[in-house]
Structures are given as structure tokens and as C-alpha cells.
Amino acid sequence: MTQPDSVNATAGPGRELPDVSELVVGVLGGTGDQGRGLAYRLAKAGQQVVIGSRSAERAEDCATQLGLGVRGADNATCARESDVVIVAVPWDGHAETLASLRADLAGKIVVDCVNPLGFDKQGAYALQVPEGSAAQQAAALLPDSTVTAAFHHLSAVLLQDGSVDEIDIDVMVLGEDRAATDTVQALADRIPGMRGVFAGRLRNAHQVEALVANLISVNRRYKVHAGVRITDV
């Protein structure tokens, strides 16, 4: 993986975020709303982006529609050709997809943004995950990758809306490896209006993933696209 150089952006007291401008970012599930939106925003910010899908043809069609130099490929090729891989697949295919890509994702920074949610007549609710969270499940399935968690609280509608210039939100980034979380923070900072904030280890990912259920309730009540801002940082 390309090792990013330091730039003058803060990861925390006494730390600088790395330069990630030359990294290739893959998005597994990049033809879905969330993955497509992230691919669009990162590519618009100047990042090299590869969209992954089970169908290479579908990924290529989506990439062509997005433009901005985005490429499309099957999931395995996307994983192999990327430095950082964002996992934006549906929860019901999460484990199967990652298990099948273990070798392709070896040595990569993996960013899990999947929210295990259920829906009933009362609205959205967080599902129980045996490993504790989607991110912890990813870490268990990908022992040769460096797994982080981020980009959970983003509105797919806003991400894909070309008339919206800035996404006013903080991205909570979790992980065990600070160099990896610094890299993910730096990627978030590339998107105008967005800021990456370190928010703890993967054992704390469950409540970050589950908070999306609350945001969905806010959105439905107030007809908005709610996000999160961390104060005093």
C-alpha cells in the first residue's frame, strides 16, 4: 500500500493527518445509494475511486454515469486495485461478501460503514450482531486487513445531490490502528464540509452504527437529512 506523507491537518494534539491524495479508494457496494454517494464525493474531491460490485458490468455502468474518472470492476478486482476499501454493502450480504474477499483485502485499510438495522411498523432499530458490531464482524473475517469504521451517519440523498456543495457533518472514525484511523480521517476531510473525528476503538462501533436508527427517526419526523457534529473539538 502507498504510504501517505504528512500534511498540516490535525488528527489530535501533537498529530498531523497524512496526505492521502494519491491513494486509490475502492467502494464495495458502490452501485448502492450509500456507496455511490461516497464514490461521487471522494472522486469530486480529487480522489482516485474504483466502484466494486458483484457484477463488473453493473459497476462499469455506474462508474460511467458518475464520471470524474471513477472506474468500475467486480468486487475482487476493486479490492486488489485499491489502497483503502470502503465496505458499503447491504447488511444481509456483509459477512458473505467479506469472507469471499479475505485474500483480496489482505494488507488493505478496510473502512466499514455498514449499519445493521431492522425495520418494522415502529421504524428503524439496531440489530444485535454476535461479534458486537458490523465493524467487529469485519475484523474477525479479515484478520490480514486493518479494519476501521467510519461514514455511518451520511445521508445518501445529500451525498448524491450534485447541487449540494458541502456536507455539513462530522465523521466518527474508529479503529485499533491510529495510522489507519488518521488515514480515514484525512479522507473524510477531503470532502468539503466534512470532518473526520477519532471516536475510539472498534469495541465502541456498535453504538455508532446503532445511532443511525435515531437519525432515521429524526429525518422522518422533521423531513430533513440529519447528521452529527462533535462540539468542542
3-state secondary structure the chain: CCCCCEEEEEEECCEEEECCCCCEEEEECCCCHHHHHHHHHHHHCCCEEEEEECCHHHHHHHHHHHCCCCEEEEHHHHHHCCCEEEECCCHHHHHHHHHHCCCCCCCCEEEECCCCEEEECCEEEECCCCCCCHHHHHHHHCCCCEEEECCCCCCHHHHHCCCCCCCCEEEEEEECCHHHHHHHHHHHHHCCCEEEEECCCHHHHHHHHHHHHHHHHHHHHHCCCCCCCCCCC
Query: Considering only CA atoms, which of 68, 65, 62, 64 is closest in space to residue 30?
Result: 62
pLDDT for the residue numbered 24? 98
What is the spatial distance between Cα 169 and Cα 154, in angstroms, rounded to a whole number? 8
Residue 5: per-residue pLDDT: 46
Q: Nearest CA to 113 among 193, 189, 26?
A: 26
Which pLDDT score is estimated for 151? 97
In this prediction, residue 2 carries a pLDDT of 45
Which pLDDT does position 10 carry in this prediction?
A: 57
| pLDDT tens for the chain, residues 1 to 233 | 444 444 445 565 556 899 999 999 999 998 999 999 999 999 999 999 999 999 999 999 999 999 999 999 999 999 999 999 999 999 999 999 999 999 999 999 999 999 999 999 999 999 999 999 999 999 999 999 999 999 999 999 999 999 999 999 999 999 999 999 999 999 999 999 999 999 999 999 999 999 999 999 999 999 999 999 999 99
**In the beta sheet, which residues pair with residue 117?**
126
Q: Radius of gyration (Cα) for the chain, nearest Å?
A: 16
Q: 73 near 81, Cβ under 8 Å?
A: yes
Predicted TM-score (pTM) above 0.75: yes
